[in-house]
Structure 1
Amino acid sequence: MASASPLRDSPPARHPEWQYLDLMRRIWSEGSERIDRTGIGTRSVFGATLRFDLTDRAMPLITTKRVYWKTATRELLWFLTGETNIRPLVLQGVHIWDDWPHARYVRETGDEITIELFIERIANDETFAANWGDLGPVYGKQWVDWPTYRYRPDGLYEPGEGINQVAQVVKSLRTNPGSRRHIIEGWNVAELDRMALPPCHKTYQYHVADGKLNGLLYQRSCDVALGLPFNLWSAALLQRMLAQQADLEPGELIWMGGDVHLYLNHAELIEEQLVREPQGVPRLEILRRPATIFDYSIEDFAVSDYAPLGALKAPVAV
């Protein structure tokens, strides 16, 4: 009688970052070339999905280039304040949103001030910042103060109390975990024209199963080279914070993209990143549990096992 075949070791698990690199390679090699809103041009595919396991403190923090996770975290914490002016970010050294108000200032005033001088004025002059630093009702405004209206007896209407979607989701996760309505929505059709940039990461939905919180982010438009590494980190971080506040363990993060693209002027960054290989498994420790989800600070987060390859820079399309 023949002896049984010897057991073989399972192949090592594929690093989760290869999903990101495979998507980048697919877009660059197969994407449809298009003229976009910025005039720069992109290669684009429509419809993509990435999945990341957040158990054991793992995070989708890209290692094939340095991602400034503290910058992304400060932006997320700024969203949770409902603030729409860039001044609080500028004072923290975060310059993600500088280009849009600078472009508006130059366009509307004709003053060809450099972006460096513009940002210096935002930081040092509160009145100037109030006039020129606002982005309109972008992400944070919709997340924590979605506008409502009430009708008056004379047939006119006036502003009502804003809706804090984030607080509602925390409450529903705690009190009704089986709900299919754990949603944070940024796409307020009535206010899109007032926003410096309509929401790209627009819809977040959460699902509780077996004591774990799973999250799904739908992104209508995604710059894979510059934006997606920040978006993945921020979505995972928000999910971890929600899980902590609702006494749940983090589960899986699913990212779904609509128009998923690479800018043609990012060729050098893309081609360099595509020859790099992922390394290590970055992990996040949340050092305390504040009273509410709105009370976290940058000091509450610590990343370990993150040794990325060098930074890769490219211009932002405005």
Structure 2
Amino acid sequence: MASSAISDSINTASHPERQYLDLMRRIWESGSERVDRTGVGTRSIAGAMLRYDLADGAMPLLTTKRVYWKTATREMLWFLTGETNIRPLVLQGVKIWNEWPHARYVKETGEQITLEDFVQRIADDEAFAQRWGDLGPVYGKQWVDWPTYRYRKDGLYEKGEGINQVAQVVESLRTNPGSRRHIIEGWNVAELDRMALPPCHKTYQFHVSGDRINCLLYQRSCDVALGLPFNLWSAALLTRMMAQQTGFEPGELVWMGGDVHLYLNHEHLITEQLSREPSGAPTLEITRTPETIFDYRIEDFVVHDYAPQPPIKAPVAV
């Protein structure tokens, strides 16, 4: 009995999720309190790193609260289409981008429409969605259609063919795995002011070590309570998709944050989550190998052995 209790304690202490919880605790207890863009206020630290081994199907899927991994997966698949309008997400029941276009609509029109009614109009009215559902050239647009411009003889510039960074990285991993240029970049300085939200998870770099592919993600701004659980899942998912498409085994996910923070109005979430113990080892199975990285469907992904504790709701700061 005592031996079993000691073993359980050791397993809990070494659980991969522990590093996330330790980061949350450190920020909440010692982060500097700051006024932020949203006006909500945060506690923040400068710089953090988390590392997760993705061998044998392992995924950084939190167990101390339910993480809706299918929602995060649908978002990743949406990124890979290059789409910037929320309507395809809305039609799948994905709500994570709704607040930004809703806030813009209310500000520009003065109509005090509820978020729920606004989202319903996006779903029901394609023309309305075309006008009000677009987020600007966010993530996916930069990933698969980074804009280029050509200088003309008359001294003017014209738009050239967009760059598909994702396709280029897949090809470079296949043909030149030792390259140090396997990078997907979202921070297009020239277009930041047109984006509903400048990219937080901005730079992905892939690294091949033997037969394993690793991913290093730099995130300039990170909401640890609500955003990071999704970001970790999505980066690991993209790594597994890259590995499958290029013939490598999944290696390690290395996450690095710049401004790493917790919102002051998330205290109830933080307190509750830190009182819980991680358990289990969820894994991801990809059930088929599509022709390209752009051809995955939500049905291709199956999670095994995921028994999380209940979700903890908290407001999104816009």
Q: State the TM-score, normalizing by the size of structure 2.
A: 0.96
Shift of 1:112: 0.5
Alignment partner of 1:33: what SS? strand
Q: Deviations over 1:289-317 (max 9, x none)?
A: 00000000000000001000000010000
Shift of 1:45: 0.4
Letter in 1 for 2:298: I
Q: Deviations over 1:189-230 (max 9, x none)?
A: 000000000000000000001110011000000000000000
Counterpart Cα distance in 1 of 2:186 and 2:210: 28
Corresponding residue of 1:16: 16
- The 5 Å alignment of 1:157-176 reads 157-176=157-176
Q: CA RMSD in A?
A: 0.9
Counterpart Cα distance in 2 of 1:83 and 1:221: 23
Shift of 1:48: 0.2
Corresponding residue of 2:255: 255
Corresponding residue of 1:237: 237
Corresponding residue of 1:194: 194
- The 5 Å alignment of 1:232-311 reads 232-311=232-311
Corresponding residue of 2:4: none
Counterpart Cα distance in 2 of 1:114 and 1:40: 21
Q: Does 1:44 align with 2:44?
A: yes
Counterpart Cα distance in 1 of 2:229 and 2:305: 17
Q: Deviations over 1:9-66 (max 9, x none)?
A: 9x65710000000000000000000000000000000100000000000000000000
Kindly tell me the number of residue pairs found equivalent between the two proteins: 309
Counterpart Cα distance in 1 of 2:206 and 2:61: 20
Alignment partner of 1:206: what SS? strand
Counterpart Cα distance in 2 of 1:25 and 1:307: 23
Alignment partner of 2:118: what SS? helix
Q: Deviations over 1:229-285 (max 9, x none)?
A: 000000000000000000000000000000000000000000000010001001000
Letter in 1 for 2:236: A
Corresponding residue of 1:137: 137
Corresponding residue of 2:3: none
Q: Deviations over 1:65-104 (max 9, x none)?
A: 0000000000000000000000000000001000000000
Counterpart Cα distance in 2 of 1:180 and 1:228: 26
Counterpart Cα distance in 2 of 1:245 and 1:108: 44
Counterpart Cα distance in 2 of 1:153 and 1:105: 41
Percent sequence identity is 79
Shift of 1:153: 1.0
Counterpart Cα distance in 1 of 2:141 and 2:312: 31
Letter in 2 for 1:119: V
Corresponding residue of 1:33: 33
Counterpart Cα distance in 2 of 1:268 and 1:201: 26
Larger Rg belongs to: 1
Counterpart Cα distance in 1 of 2:201 and 2:16: 21
Counterpart Cα distance in 1 of 2:30 and 2:256: 19
Shift of 1:136: 0.1
Corresponding residue of 1:121: 121
Alignment partner of 1:169: what SS? helix
Alignment partner of 2:256: what SS? strand
Counterpart Cα distance in 1 of 2:96 and 2:124: 18
| Structure 2 residues not aligned, in runs of 5+ | 1-6
Counterpart Cα distance in 2 of 1:47 and 1:119: 36
Shift of 1:287: 0.2
Letter in 2 for 1:283: T
| Structure 1 residues not aligned, in runs of 5+ | 1-8
Corresponding residue of 1:220: 220
- The 5 Å alignment of 1:39-118 reads 39-118=39-118
Bigger proportion of residues as helix: 2
Counterpart Cα distance in 2 of 1:207 and 1:200: 21
Corresponding residue of 1:178: 178
Counterpart Cα distance in 2 of 1:38 and 1:285: 38
Q: Deviations over 1:134-155 (max 9, x none)?
A: 0000000000000000011101
Q: State the TM-score, normalizing by the size of structure 1.
A: 0.96
